[in-house]
Each structure stands twice: as C-alpha cells, then as structure tokens.
A and B are shown apart, each in its own frame.
Chain A
Amino acid sequence: MRVSRSIVLSLSLSFLALGAGCGSSVSDPPAPPPCDEACKDGVALKALRETMKLAFNLTLQGKPVGEHDETTPCPLGGSARVFGSATSNALQGATEVKLTYVLTDCRYLFKDDDAEDNYAMMISGTMTQEGILAVQPSATSALVMKGESMKLIGTVYDPPLEYAADCPIELGQNGNKLTGKICGRDAFSDL
C-alpha cells in the first residue's frame, strides 16, 4: 500500500490511532504448536523453493534474456547449476522460465520469529521449473516444478526438528502459495 496525503489525512480524521488496523491480529506470540509430519513437509517445501529462488537470483538475474547455463556456489556449501531459457518483460515485470536446477549438497538456512519459517537444509537432486515468475503484482507467479529424486537432509521448525526425505517431489506455486507432494505426501506452505 502506498502512503499518501490522503492516507495520512484519513489517519487523523478517522482516528487511525484507534480504529485502523482493526482487521489485523498481531498479538503476543503464543507458544508454538507441535509440528507434525505435514508441518515439517511444509517447511521442507518452502526450503526447497527458497533454495531454488536463491540459485536463480545468483545465476540468471540481470543476465541477457535467452539460453543460459550457469553454476554458483551455495552460501553454506555445495553448488547449484541452473540452465535453460528465461525471457523477461521488464514493463510487465514478468519472467517466463523453462529451467533445470541441479543442486549438489546445496546448503541454505533461514531463521525467523515464526517457528514455521525456520529451517537448515542440504538439498541434492535435479528440479525442473516452468512457468512465470512475477515481479509486479499485476503478474502472478505461476510455476510448476518437479524432481524425480530429491534428497533433503537437515532440520525444520523452531525448536529444530530433524528432517530427511529422499524421494520424488512435485511442487506448484501460485502467487505466494506453494502446494505439492513430498514422497507422495501432500505439502503446503506460503512464501
């Protein structure tokens, strides 16, 4: 949302200090609920997607549109190779991709106040990615990603819980929603 005169003005005139944000529900953080298998799969799904995102941005971002084959080290060890085609429309803020990611012991982690955002994962395997990467809200990310044999080892959640998977993974992204299957199990997450 954009701040403007009208926002500031309406803030005052409508007693924003009392009334705004009524729809929000930010309160003291409750004790984290237990994280079951579905919960752990969701965090793992997110870890995989964000590792791919990192690999993309490390390799292809800013490169001329077209065919590429780039390899980059992962921040915490391992490597990621990205190859295939990517074509961006800067005006619309959308990038059409048909890429393959080869992750080799690629390590990545994320820490946050939200227990379900936390993970430390090492990922190996090959994932394909097809669809649209949105850069502006007028274009929504729409991606299909698949890996026939993916290996994920590490921890998820906070406090950390051990996690391991070595199986096919299917993943779809619609906007910031992730939906997929890990080892045949349904998994969901938000980016």
Chain B
Amino acid sequence: MHRRAAFLARTFAFALACVVPSVAAAQPAEPARPGPAAPAGVPVAPPTLLSDPDVPYPDGATGDATVIVVLVVGEDGAVRSATPEGADEPFLGAAAAAARAWRFEPARRGETPVAARIKIAITFRAPVVKEPEPEAEPEPEPEPAATPGKPAPRRPRERPQEVRVRGAREPGRTVSLSRTEVRQIPGAFGDPFRAVEIMPGVTPIVSGLPFFFVRGAPPGNVGYYLDGVRIPLLFHVGAGPSVVHPGLVQRVDLYPGGYPARFGRFSGGIVSGETAPPLDRPHGEYNLRLFDAGAMIETPFGPKNRGSVLLGGRYSYTAFLLTQIASDTLLDYWDYQGRASYDLTPDDRISVFAFGSYDYLGQRTATQTITLFGTEFHRVDLRYDRKLGDKGAMRVAVTTGFDRSRAQEDRYVRDRVLGARTEWTYYADPRVLLRAGTDLQVDSYDVQVVSGTLAPSVARVASYFPSRTDLAFGARADAVVAVAKGFEVTPGARVDMFASDGATALGVDPRLAMRTEVTQDVRVLSALGIAHQPPSFVVPVPGFQPGGLRGGLQKAYQTALGVEADLFEAITGTATVFHNAFYDMSDPLGTSPPQLSGCAPGTFPTDTLAGDRTRTSGGFGGGGSATCGVPRFPPGTIGPDRSGGGQQGADSRGTQTAANAFEVRTRGEAIGLELFLKKKLTSRIGGFLSYTLSRSTRTYEGRSYVATFDRTHVLNTALAFDLGKNWRAGTRFTFYTGLPKAPDPTDDATRLQPFYRVDLRLEKRWQLSRTAWISGVAEWLNATLSKEAVATTCTLGGCQAQLIGPVTIPSVGVEGGF
C-alpha cells in the first residue's frame, strides 16, 4: 500500500481478533459478552460482514487516514455500537456512521450465534496527494491494541490479519458509484447521475445525450430517485448537467431489473441516488465552469451539533453567453437544494429536504419573447426518522411538489404533487431482516394545450394528457433471510394501485433475490421480479404523464443471474446474464422499426403530390418505410398519373406516424451479458471496464424486429492515474455498435456504422489548508470529434448515413471545497 496516493475512499477492513468470550479474556478493556449458550472451549467463528464495505471519502477531508472502529456485533448480526478512534474528523464520523449501518453474519460458537467485539480498520486515501512523497513504502506493521484510558493511537496497535471484507451487493443492483469515483470519470463532468451511462446494461441513444435504454427498456421506463423522492427531470434542458448539485450526491446505484420491493412503478430500471449525510463541521463545495456556477454549503448547529443546515444550487449564465452569439435566443437554467435536520433525541431525527430545477429556452422577436421550452419542478420532503434500538429503523415522510412544463402559445402542463410514505426495517431474528413500506401519491394535473389549433394527430396525442387527478398507492414488503451461512434469500412483493381519469389498475409485483457465496471471494447473485408501470411518455418530462391508463399497465418480467468476484489487485468483477420481457410496452422511441430518411431510389414518398398511398411497403413492424411506396411501374413501362396525391401539409405523415408510435403498445424482449471490472478510480491507477452484449427486440401485430435503439456491443473503459505533484489525469474510451439500419437497396449492411469516442480529464489540485482545497479541471467529452450515424438518408442519387455532430463538450472550470 502506498501512502502517496491519489486515492479516495479506499476502504479496507482489517478484522480481527474476533473477540468473543475467549478472546475477550485476553482484552479486558474490551470485554465481550458471552453468548447465552456458548459452551466453553469451542472455537468461535468470527462475524462476517454482509454489507457493502465501501465507505466514501468524506467531503471536506484531506489526506489519508486510518480509522480503527471497535464494533460490538450482536447475536443478531446488528452493530450494537461503533467506536471510532485513531484519526480526526471527518474520518471518525464517516467511519462510525458507515459501520453502524453494517450488517454481519454473527459470530458463532459452534452453531450458536454469539455477540462479539471486533476491530475494523478503515483506511481512507485522499484522491490527490498534497506533496510528493517517496515511492511506495511498506505497509506499517500494526501495533498492539491501545490500552484503555490512553490516547487513541494513530494506527492499530494490535496486529490485525488483513482481511478483504466481502461486500454484499444487492442482487438486483449492478453497479454503485460513489461521487468521489464519479469525479474521476472523464466525460461525466463530476456528475453522479451522468455516470450512469458507463454502467453495464445501459445503452445510449446518442452520444452525449443523457437518456438511456436500460436492458432494453426505454428512457421513459427508468425511474430516478434521490433519497427515495422521485426526480421528474434529471438533466437541465434535456442534455445538460443534472438538476442536483453533485456535491450533495454521495453515491448512485443502478438497479436494472429484479430490484428490491422498495422500488416500483417503473418497469425498466431504477437509478437511485443517495445524499451525503450531514457532517458535524461546516463544509462546502463550489465550482465555476464555462457555462454555469454552483455551490453547496452545510453547517451544523445546536447543542452537540444536533442539527445541520445545507444550502446548494447552480446557476447557468448561458443566457448571457448566448446573447453575445445569438441575440434572439434565450437559454437559462438553475437549480437549488436545501436540507435541514435536527436530532430530537439520539434515536429521533426530523429533517426537511427541498430541491428544484428551472429550465427555459426562448426566442426573442421584435415584440415579444416566445417560449420554446420551459420546465420546472420543486419538491419538499419532510421526514421523521426513528431508530428502533439495534433492531431497525423507520421513516415517515411527506412530499409536496409542483411541476410545470411550458411550450409555445401559452400551452402548459402543471402537476401539483402530494405524497406520503413510510419505511420500516426490522431484524425480527438474527437471520431475518424485514423491510416494509407504503407510499401514496396524488398528482393533480392542469393541462392547457389548445388542441383546436393542433394538427389532428398531435391533438390526438394531446388528448392523452387531460386535466385530472391521478392517485397511486403502493405497499411493499420483503425479507432478507439468511437461510444458511453464505446463502441469503430475499422474497418480497409490492402492490400498486393506480387511478387516473376514471380508470383504475392494479399491479402485483413479486420479487425474489438470492445471494450465494461460492467461495470467500466469489458470489452468485440472482434476481427476478415483475414490475408494473402506467403508460409512460417518451422521456421523463415534468407533468408529462399520460392519463387514463389507456392501454393498461406496462408489465416487465425481469430476470438476472450473475457472478461477483474479488479479483487480484483490489479489482472487483461481475458477470451477469439477463433476460427482460416487456408486455404492453409504450416505447415511441423503439417502436418504429428503422426507416430511411427520404425514399430509396425507385420508391416514392406517399405523402407527396406524386405519392402512391396504396402501395406502401410496411408500417410498424413491417421492416420498411411506412411512407415510401414501391414503384408502380418498372423501367420501360409507363408510369402512373399521380396528380393530386394529396394530404400535404395539414398533418404530415411523419407527425402522424410519430403520434401513432406514441399510442402503440408493443411486446419487447431483451437478453444480454454484462461484464464489469473495476479498480477504484480513486486509486493511484484505477479504472473500469464495462461491457454489454445484448439484443433487444420488439413485436407488434405479430411481426418481430430489432428495436430501433438496439446496440449489440456497448463498451466503456476508463483509466485514471495520478501523475504526481497533485496532478491527476484520466481518459475514457467509449464504443458501441451502430443502430439497426433500414433496408437500403444500395447497401447490404444491417446496421449503421459503429461509434467511438475518447474523453479526457485533467485535474490539478492545490491544498490551501488542512481542509480547504481548490482544483483546476479541464474535461473534454468526445475529444476525437467523432460523428455519429443516426439514420440513413436517401436521395435519387443513392443512400448514405446521416451523421450528427461531432457532439463535443469541452469544459474548463475551477472546483473547490473546505
């Protein structure tokens, strides 16, 4: 292990001395409580950590630190107490907070669970070294344990056996990324939610656009949550930074299928973010970039720092910049976050969490400003948390919110949100963790679209969004049961009831997950479940929830089986095979089979003057163009008189077909293999490799075809390395297969050309004081200026790939914290 490291949040656990009765005798300062049925002389098996051992590097911290945490693990595997020592804040607090939430397989004497006292060493490594130091030095020999009453040692004083603590990834989850790691991913701009695109199972639509297909499910079927509160719009202006300040997000997890029962109402996947817990000292973070600036600050208050207040936000000055370039264009966005919490007692906490976002795109004319796109949302979540002793915890929360999206001619959709939820976890038995909860949400939609001025097909789509009140109520429960040592089963279910515009529906979602330890370093994880979801819009947009449950609920059957292994050099790897089946799926993006842009030579557009509407070659699922007719006459014969093909202009065929795609329900299927290898990006040399091999299909009216956004291979790999002198560099390579290609008489290829890009990142950090730091960060998404093929365009002269881009985003900025 190297002291000079640019490591962040690298956690090792040195467990030791599993000190149960017999061992405790050798450590009078740390007496262990004997198990009630512990026969003397029988060897004691130490407790095994079941929880994820990663402890994020605390915000505002600097340098490396090793915290020794003395844990008392009860017979039920719960952590009765966690006493940190050996370092300073905020390391102590971060380590203790994480350890208290851990769950262990209890120590055993024979077959009898017994209480145990253990010591665990958690090592934090700073992401960038402060000063050059000598190359690697040997790992210091641990020293004997501290003597009670004496100052806490800086290092463990007992000689621990180094044990790589085995993590317990939830079976339904693929990858979890801490924010400190995300900061090192080139092209993610430090944004945890943008980093979702590197996770296995995720298929991008277009490079740089943060909307994804997840295991074949469209973007509208993927739910985004922050601390259990759904986020209606995740990215500013559709493609910009996320609407939550990155400094507030501690980690982001992706659940692509078979997710725990606490997640529901989305049939495609869940992206769940967690905010960082309050610290007991003032800290903050800020950033200044070409396009926006943001800051976040948090400070404790009250006796013994029982309370804390956090404020954060971001403001874009692109409106000002754009004005200098295009004076008739307005682009503006901002977001805010606020959090306050107070510990009423050691077991009771109340808190309020508010966040929101505003986006606006407009055009100035001589007389007015026209709104092209405007959307905003606001959420306030009031929570009461109570610890149920060592047995569990509960939360009661009430959420209110307001969503609004606007478009031209004062058209708008508003949604007033009121929700409530309860969450409860309880260890009914040392081997059984019960989890249950309920949630209720009422959405009052107020819609103004002036349908009389819309084209008929668009008006038909608009009719899916009436003013109304929707109601959704869900109840769920599951149990994490340690059936035997190394074998854990989690059966569960949730039931959701939906009511919208006079229609009702019921979704019953059973879930089952299993985790089996094959060896100490290898685990087999499986998850399967059913998920229901009301009809969805193309992508998440505040207020845009189709009403009336027309077409019924979408349903997904999700199954996955994977292997997780701790490999050499602190590398972890996973391999997962999955199969998802979707029924009554609303997927406007993937429903239409690939089509040519323009008509292939020798075919005729059917919506033009000369078009032949009676000879189209297909429709949805037809594998061909719905709007190009085959020639009625071969060369050498007289062609038809098509004068007056008609229907030009009033409602173009393209708009009609897009509208139809919105209404169509299809059956979908996705099958694939996911590989993920990671060495923490915060390591001196870290990186990851994420690869997905998959195939996604749709079936409509009995015809099956490859989904429009299917990509056979998706590869993301990144390397981050410490250059020394507080310089850190990273590069990322992205490759994916081209989209399915429409049949084209001039080309036999079945797919568009593949896409690749390289992203770069370079950071220089200066340590201003013990806690304050500042960094200069240069980042460049698509430094190779690669263009991406999205369709095939045909003219009389032939067909060729329609390229967009290069979509490239250079960014230079300053980040800092204290």
Question: What residues make up the interface of A, taking CB atoms closer than 8 Å to B?
Answer: 1-9, 11-22, 24-28, 49-50, 52-53, 56-57, 60-65, 68, 86-88, 90-95, 133-141, 173, 175-176, 190-191
Query: Which residues, 463 to 498 on B, are CB-close (under 8 Å) to A?
Result: 464-465
Q: A60 with B654: in contact, given A2-B597, A17-B458, A26-B455 (CB under 8 Å)? A: no
A135 & B626 in contact (Cβ 8 Å cutoff): no
Q: Let me know if B140 is at the binding interface, CB within 8 A.
A: no
A12 & B538 in contact (Cβ 8 Å cutoff): yes
B639 & A88 in contact (Cβ 8 Å cutoff): yes
Residue of B nearest to A11 (CB): B658
A91 proximity list for chain B (CB < 8 A): 601-602, 635, 796
Question: Given A5-B708, A12-B589, list of 13 further CB < 8 A pairs?
Answer: A2-B596, A2-B628, A3-B592, A5-B592, A15-B541, A16-B658, A18-B406, A22-B454, A57-B640, A135-B604, A136-B608, A137-B609, A173-B643
A-B contacts, 16 listed (Cβ < 8 Å): A6-B791, A7-B658, A11-B538, A11-B662, A21-B459, A56-B641, A61-B639, A62-B637, A88-B638, A90-B633, A91-B635, A91-B796, A92-B796, A133-B642, A140-B609, A175-B609
B709 & A5 in contact (Cβ 8 Å cutoff): yes
Residue of B411, B456, B626, B796 touching A136 (CB-CB under 8 A): B796
Q: Let me know if B366 is at the binding interface, CB within 8 A.
A: no
Residue of A3, A15, A53, A56 touching B627 (CB-CB under 8 A): A3
Q: A2 with B595: in contact, given A8-B589, A15-B541 (CB under 8 Å)? A: yes
Residue of A nearest to B628 (CB): A2
Residue of B nearest to A61 (CB): B640
A-B residue pairs, 6 tightest by C-beta: A191-B644, A12-B538, A21-B455, A1-B654, A18-B407, A3-B657
A175 proximity list for chain B (CB < 8 A): 609
B454 & A24 in contact (Cβ 8 Å cutoff): yes
Q: Let me know if B653 is at the binding interface, CB within 8 A.
A: yes
Residue of B nearest to A133 (CB): B641
B462 & A18 in contact (Cβ 8 Å cutoff): yes
Residue of B nearest to A3 (CB): B657
Residue of A nearest to B461 (CB): A17
A8 & B607 in contact (Cβ 8 Å cutoff): no
A2 & B598 in contact (Cβ 8 Å cutoff): yes
A134 & B609 in contact (Cβ 8 Å cutoff): yes
A22 & B408 in contact (Cβ 8 Å cutoff): yes
Q: Let me know if B605 is at the binding interface, CB within 8 A.
A: yes
Q: A21 with B637: in contact, given A3-B658, A26-B650, A173-B643 (CB under 8 Å)? A: no
B609 & A138 in contact (Cβ 8 Å cutoff): no
Residue of A nearest to B609 (CB): A176
Query: Which residues, 447 to 461 on B, are CB-close (under 8 Å) to A?
Result: 449, 452-459, 461
B644 & A50 in contact (Cβ 8 Å cutoff): yes
A76–chain B nearest beta-carbon distance, Å: 19
Scoring A17, A19, A56, A135 by chain B CB atoms within 10 A of each residue's CB, the highest score goes to A17
A49 & B595 in contact (Cβ 8 Å cutoff): no
Q: A18 with B644: in contact, given A1-B607, A13-B539, A61-B639 (CB under 8 Å)? A: no
Query: Which residues, 627 to 670 on B, are CB-close (under 8 Å) to A?
Result: 627-628, 631-646, 648-655, 657-658, 661-662
B602 proximity list for chain A (CB < 8 A): 90-91
A62 proximity list for chain B (CB < 8 A): 632-633, 637-638
B518–chain A nearest beta-carbon distance, Å: 43
A63 proximity list for chain B (CB < 8 A): 637-638
B653 & A61 in contact (Cβ 8 Å cutoff): no
B605 & A19 in contact (Cβ 8 Å cutoff): no
A26 proximity list for chain B (CB < 8 A): 454-456, 459, 650-651
How far apart are the CA atoms of A7 and B588 in the complex, in Å? 10
A5 & B607 in contact (Cβ 8 Å cutoff): no
Q: Let me know if B333 is at the binding interface, CB within 8 A.
A: no
Residue of A nearest to B238 (CB): A13
How far apart are the CA atoms of A90 and B796 in the complex, in Å? 11
B652 & A1 in contact (Cβ 8 Å cutoff): yes
Q: A134 with B407: in contact, given A20-B458, A56-B641 (CB under 8 Å)? A: no
How far apart are the CA atoms of A166 and B428 in the complex, in Å? 99
Q: Let me know if B729 is at the binding interface, CB within 8 A.
A: no
A65 proximity list for chain B (CB < 8 A): 636-638
B499 proximity list for chain A (CB < 8 A): none
Q: Let me know if B271 is at the binding interface, CB within 8 A.
A: no
Q: A191 with B643: in contact, given A2-B625, A17-B461, A137-B605 (CB under 8 Å)? A: yes
B610 proximity list for chain A (CB < 8 A): 93, 134-137, 139, 141
A176 & B633 in contact (Cβ 8 Å cutoff): no
Residue of B nearest to A143 (CB): B643
Residue of A2, A7, A138, A176 touching B643 (CB-CB under 8 A): A176
A89–chain B nearest beta-carbon distance, Å: 8
How far apart are the CA atoms of A56 and B644 in the complex, in Å? 14
B408–chain A nearest beta-carbon distance, Å: 5
How far apart are the CA atoms of A49 and B642 in the complex, in Å? 12
B413 & A18 in contact (Cβ 8 Å cutoff): yes
Residue of A5, A11, A60, A95 touching B790 (CB-CB under 8 A): A5
How far apart are the CA atoms of A1 and B611 in the complex, in Å? 11
Residue of B nearest to A191 (CB): B644
B637 proximity list for chain A (CB < 8 A): 62-65, 88, 90
B652 & A8 in contact (Cβ 8 Å cutoff): no
Residue of B nearest to A68 (CB): B638
Residue of B nearest to A66 (CB): B638
How far apart are the CA atoms of A148 and B238 in the complex, in Å? 64
B607–chain A nearest beta-carbon distance, Å: 7
Q: Let me know if B537 is at the binding interface, CB within 8 A.
A: yes
Residue of B464, B605, B646, B655 touching A21 (CB-CB under 8 A): B655
B686-697 vs A, CB cutoff 8 Å, 1 = contact: the mask equals 000000000000
Q: A86 with B407: in contact, given A16-B658, A137-B609 (CB under 8 Å)? A: no
Q: Let me know if B773 is at the binding interface, CB within 8 A.
A: no
Residue of A87, A90, A137, A173 touching B631 (CB-CB under 8 A): A90
How far apart are the CA atoms of A22 and B596 in the complex, in Å? 26
A138–chain B nearest beta-carbon distance, Å: 6
Scoring A52, A65, A87, A135 by chain B CB atoms within 10 A of each residue's CB, the highest score goes to A135
B462–chain A nearest beta-carbon distance, Å: 5
How far apart are the CA atoms of A28 and B452 in the complex, in Å? 8
B413 & A88 in contact (Cβ 8 Å cutoff): no
Q: A90 with B643: in contact, given A17-B461, A18-B411, A21-B455 (CB under 8 Å)? A: no
A57 proximity list for chain B (CB < 8 A): 640-641
How far apart are the CA atoms of A1 and B634 in the complex, in Å? 24
A3 & B643 in contact (Cβ 8 Å cutoff): no
B639 & A93 in contact (Cβ 8 Å cutoff): yes
Residue of B nearest to A88 (CB): B639
B650–chain A nearest beta-carbon distance, Å: 6
